[in-house]
Amino acid sequence: MTSADPAGACNPASIVAPTFEATDNCLASAVSVTPTTAGPTGPACARTQTWTANYTDACTNAAVPVSVTYTWVEDVVIPVISVVTSADPAGTCNPASIIAPTFEATDNCLASAVSVTPTTAGPTGPACARTQTWTANYTDACTNAAVP
């Protein structure tokens, strides 16, 4: 048997079925066996496909069926970043501290949101009109990048 199992790969270009062969004590060489499959099943984030090979020789001796299951991810949906908390001092004079907002990302292949650490260049602008911008970025396991 040979296999091109994409084992957890993201968005494989193609799924190549495994090849099976049977050996029989009354045959000089192995016999190629065509497997059966119901096709891909499961949700996009956990796709599976099982192939089962059966072989019965000329004397009706049936081999024990052999199955191979591939699992992969189909994910082309970009994650979404949102602001969870923000303590914007908007218009406050001489705030004692500036607290960074918190961000999280949601992804169609994750059961719960993921905390995202933002980046910032720090405060900018003149003393009487200071601003600070935080940017959050997140890329999921299948390299789908959220829009910052």
The pLDDT value recorded for residue 116 is 95
- Beta bridge partner(s), residue 120: 134
Q: What is the pLDDT of residue 89?
A: 87
pLDDT of 90 strictly over 80: yes
Q: What is the pLDDT of residues 18-54, one digit of tens each?
A: 999 999 999 889 899 999 999 999 999 999 999 999 9
Joined together, the tokens standing for residue 127 give 């003393």
Give the Å distances, CA to CA, from 135 to 39, 45, 142: 42, 28, 21
Q: Is 45 helix (H, G, I), strand (E, B) or coil?
A: helix
The pLDDT of residue 2 is 63
Q: Average pLDDT in the 46-73 region?
A: 95
* Amino acid identity at 33: V
3 state DSSP class of 87: coil
Is the alpha carbon torsion for 143, 79, 140, 147 positive or negative? positive
Q: Are 135 and 121 in contact (CB under 8 A)?
A: no
Domain layout of the chain by residue ranges: 20-72, 77-148
- The pTM is what? 0.76
Average pLDDT, the chain: 92
CA distance 143 to 132: 29
The mean pLDDT value for 129-138 works out to 94
What per-residue confidence (pLDDT) applies to 3?
A: 67
